[in-house]
Amino acid sequence: MSNSGKAFSSSIGKKLVMGITGLFLILYLIIHCFLNSLIFVNDGGLTFNEGAHFMATNWLIRAMEVVLFLGFIVHIVQSARLTIENRAARPVKYAYNDGNANSKWYSRSMGLLGTILLIFLIVHLSNFWVVSRFTGIPTTDANGHDDLYAVMKLTFQNVWIVILYVLAMVSLAYHLLHGFPSAFQTMGWNHKKYTPIIKKVGFWYSIIIPLIFALMPIAVYAGLI
Amino acid sequence: MSTGNMNLTLKVWRQKNSKDQGRLVDYKVSDISPDMSFLEMFDVLNEQLISKGEEPIVFDHDCREGICGMCSMFINGRPHGPKQGITTCQLHMRSFKDGDTIVVEPWRAQAFPVIKDLSVDRSSFDRIIAAGGFISVNTGSAQDANNIPIPKQDADAAFEAAACIGCGACVATCKNASAMLFVSAKISQLAHLPQGQPERYRRVQSMVAQMDAEGFGNCTNTGACEAECPKGISLENIALMNRDYYSAKFLKEEEIH
Ligand code: SF4
Ligand code: FES
């Protein structure tokens, strides 16, 4: 290896770290979305609690949880570092810059969208993760599992929480709209035939996953589940 | 040279030297012909300033036909002005309307310090080229053109990348002032050709290292560079550069730096 120690601190290496952690988080979202969708099963949350119980007790999942946290932390810390460096690369700003003429607003606002997501993440973790892992879930369901479903229904009675969640999912959609195809470009995969497919898959992924997530607090608040 | 009927207000960045703070100054120009190039309009303005005993505006230009890459100018928020695929010298006043106000600023980047007014120091690009944007061969009489067979797609890709004129519009428009498009074009034009292979992986590492050392920002794939490049250099070149960089760093054995 030719001095690859320096590889990750170079501009391209830093991009690679963002791309890989981003793709990892994208994969994670699929699993998270699938499991949470179990709340739509019409059985008073038994299936959902079953899934939550599995996630909380399976040792492999617990190990992955550590990796997941690392993925989030690296993605966030690296982006903060990149943002600071990129600001410094243009110390005097333009008096007038017509950014919309050549790029999408959300591509230029990944930092802002990411910050909204970070705030959401903190609230979200304290709503559910902290409760299920540390402070404890007060009730159990008919199967004797922790009733996370009840916690969720209670949490989403608060209209502000619902608004925050929905806003965050809109941010997530735009964050993914740029991040999904961008990760592939960073990995060096730009191909006349496959890039249009990646973009199409990325587009639908970015719409569908956040939409399903957003429907959860909305459905609960509207009394549909 | 008052041949037309356009009257314009210009807000032009004036800066005495690299230390000066600089500011936008308003100028009026009248009777501008729509057939003038943007630079010719600046010539008229400068004549006006000279005859009033004021200092003319310094701006870069050379060939005035879109091939040298010298002309710069960030016009109404975009490098080389409102049109796509052209340089400032190829921009004509018919792209504006009578009575318009036009803001003209220099390229802005840490790695492109302002020398004076609209002229910036782009020697950071030269240093990146010097770090590896070449092939090492003994000069002599040229060999026969068909001695080394090159597949047409590769030749085309190399030529497309070689169209880069080093103007720096990509850096100027990038929200991160990243030079990735320029550097990738210079890497790609050689990576596609047999003559570029011996130094291919050494080149990508040294040029990227030099790019980083010059203080350009990090690419976030917004694609603004590709949209504004007067020569249509594609983001595919950046992907190729990334691939070459990863294989150099993670797959190649030899000690390069
Ligand atoms: S890549 Fe395009 S915009 Fe950048 S320096 Fe080359 S010609 Fe100019
Ligand atoms: S002056 Fe040479 S490209 Fe414009």
Residue B1 has pLDDT above 70, yes or no: no
At B134, list the tokens. 């070449």
Closest CA to B128 of B196, B72, B200, B183: B183
**Does residue B127 share a domain with residue B59?**
no
pTM summary value: 0.94
Band of pLDDT at residue A5, cut at 50, 70 and 90? low
Contact B120, B113 (CB under 8 A): yes
Torsion of CA A148, A154, A157, A163, to 10 degrees: -40
Question: Residue A147: inside a domain, yes or no?
Answer: yes
**Does residue B91 share a domain with residue B19?**
yes
Band of pLDDT at residue A185, cut at 50, 70 and 90? very high
Question: Residue A10: inside a domain, yes or no?
Answer: yes
**Does residue B27 share a domain with residue B90?**
yes
Residues 6+ apart with CB under 8 A from A85: B217, B218
State the amino acid at position B43 in one-letter form. Answer: D
Closest CA to B14 of B134, B112, B103: B103
Q: What's the CA-to-centroid distance between B77 and ligand 2, angstroms?
A: 19
Q: What's the domain range around B51?
A: 6-115
Q: How many CB atoms lie within 10 A of CB B229?
A: 26
B 74-93 residues inside an 8 A Cβ radius of A: 74, 76-78, 82
Measured between CA atoms, the residue of chain A closest to residue B239 is A188
Question: Residue A97: inside a domain, yes or no?
Answer: no
The residue to mutate among B88, B229, B237, B238, having the most atoms of ligand 1 within 8 angstroms of its beta carbon, is B229
**CA–CA min distance A195, chain B (Å):** 10
CA B91 to chain centre: 15
Which residues in chain B are closer than 8 Å to A90, comparing Cβ atoms?
108-110, 175-177, 217
Question: Residue A94: inside a domain, yes or no?
Answer: no
Lowest mean pLDDT among A198-207, B131-140, B150-159, B198-207: B131-140
The domain that holds A123 is classified in CATH as: 1.20.1300.10
- What pLDDT sits at residue B254? 60
Mean predicted confidence (pLDDT) in B6-31: 97
- What pLDDT sits at residue A93? 97
Residue B115 has pLDDT above 90, yes or no: yes
Say which DSSP state A99 is in: G
Measured between CA atoms, the residue of chain A closest to residue B218 is A11
Q: How many CB atoms lie within 10 A of CB A93?
A: 10
**Does residue B136 share a domain with residue B204?**
yes
At B198, list the tokens. 């011996």
What is the average pLDDT value for chain B, to the nearest integer?
95
Question: Residue B67: inside a domain, yes or no?
Answer: yes
The ligand 2 atom nearest the CA atom of B69: 3
Q: Which residues of A touch B (CB under 8 A)?
A: 1-4, 6-7, 10-16, 82, 85-86, 88-99, 101-104, 107-108, 110, 178, 181-182, 185-190
Q: What's the domain range around A73?
A: 3-87+105-221
Residues 6+ apart with CB under 8 A from A25: A68, A71, A72, A75
Q: Is B1 helix (H, G, I), strand (E, B) or coil?
A: coil
| Residue of A3, A16, A17, A92 to mutate for B, most B C-beta atoms under 10 A | A92
Residue A4 has pLDDT above 90, yes or no: no
Question: Residue B175: inside a domain, yes or no?
Answer: yes
Structural domain total, chain B: 2
Structural domain total, chain A: 1
Q: What's the CA-to-centroid distance between B165 and ligand 2, angstroms?
A: 9
Question: Residue A93: inside a domain, yes or no?
Answer: no
**Does residue B154 share a domain with residue B213?**
yes
Question: Residue A100: inside a domain, yes or no?
Answer: no
Which residues in chain A are closer than 8 Å to B235, comparing Cβ atoms?
185, 190
- What pLDDT sits at residue B255? 59
C-alpha radius of gyration, chain A, whole number: 20
**Does residue B104 share a domain with residue B154?**
no
The domain that holds B234 is classified in CATH as: 1.10.1060.10
- Which residue shows structure tokens 């190829």? B90
- A10:B201 CB<8 A: no
**Does residue B131 share a domain with residue B80?**
no
What is the average pLDDT value for chain A, to the nearest integer?
95
Structural domain ending residue among the three candidates B115, B136, B171: B115
**B169 Cβ closer than 6 Å to some ligand 1 atom:** yes
- A94:B224 CB<8 A: no
**Does residue B228 share a domain with residue B142?**
yes
- What pLDDT sits at residue B144? 86
Mean predicted confidence (pLDDT) in A37-58: 94
Q: Which of B103, B219, B255 sits opposite A96 (nearest CB)?
A: B103
Question: Residue A28: inside a domain, yes or no?
Answer: yes
**Does residue B167 share a domain with residue B96?**
no
- What pLDDT sits at residue B38? 98
Question: Residue A184: inside a domain, yes or no?
Answer: yes
| Residue of B110, B182, B220, B257 to mutate for A, most A C-beta atoms under 10 A | B220
Residue A97 has pLDDT above 80, yes or no: yes
CB proximity B11 to A under 8 Å? yes
Beta bridge partners of A54: none
Residue B110 has pLDDT above 90, yes or no: yes
pLDDT in tens, B135-175: 998 878 888 878 889 999 999 999 999 999 999 999 999 99
Mean predicted confidence (pLDDT) in A194-212: 98
Q: What's the CA-to-centroid distance between B69 and ligand 2, angstroms?
A: 5
State the amino acid at position B7 in one-letter form. Answer: N
Which residues in chain B are closer than 8 Å to A189, comparing Cβ atoms?
239
Structural domain ending residue among the three candidates B90, B115, B140: B115
The ligand 1 atom nearest the CA atom of B179: 4
**Ligand number with the minimum distance to the CA of B125:** 1
The residue to mutate among B80, B159, B231, B236, having the most atoms of ligand 1 within 8 angstroms of its beta carbon, is B231
Residue A114 has pLDDT above 60, yes or no: yes
**CA–CA min distance A172, chain B (Å):** 17
Q: What's the CA-to-centroid distance between B90 and ligand 2, angstroms?
A: 8
State the amino acid at position B234 in one-letter form. Answer: S
- Percent with pLDDT over 90 in chain A: 91
The domain that holds B28 is classified in CATH as: 3.10.20.30
- What pLDDT sits at residue B128? 98
Alpha helices in chain A (DSSP H): 11-36, 46-57, 59-88, 105-108, 110-124, 130, 148-155, 159-186, 194-221
Pairing of β B23-32 and β B6-14: antiparallel
- Residue B166 to residue B169: CA distance in whole angstroms: 8
Structural domain ending residue among the three candidates B81, B115, B149: B115
Band of pLDDT at residue B256, cut at 50, 70 and 90? low
**What angle separates helix A11-36 from helix A46-57, to the nearest 10 degrees?**
140
**Does residue B177 share a domain with residue B78?**
no
CB proximity B14 to A under 8 Å? no
Question: Residue B90: inside a domain, yes or no?
Answer: yes
Question: Residue B257: inside a domain, yes or no?
Answer: no
- Percent with pLDDT over 70 in chain A: 98
- B175:A110 CB<8 A: no
Q: Provide the ipTM.
A: 0.92
Which residues in chain B are closer than 8 Å to A103, comparing Cβ atoms?
175, 222-224, 227
**Does residue B128 share a domain with residue B106?**
no
The ligand 2 atom nearest the CA atom of B87: 4
pLDDT in tens, B213-236: 999 999 999 999 999 999 999 999
- Percent with pLDDT over 70 in chain B: 97
- Residue A15 to residue B219: CA distance in whole angstroms: 7
**Does residue B67 share a domain with residue B168?**
no
Question: Residue B34: inside a domain, yes or no?
Answer: yes
Residue A1 has pLDDT above 60, yes or no: no
At B21, list the tokens. 């703070």
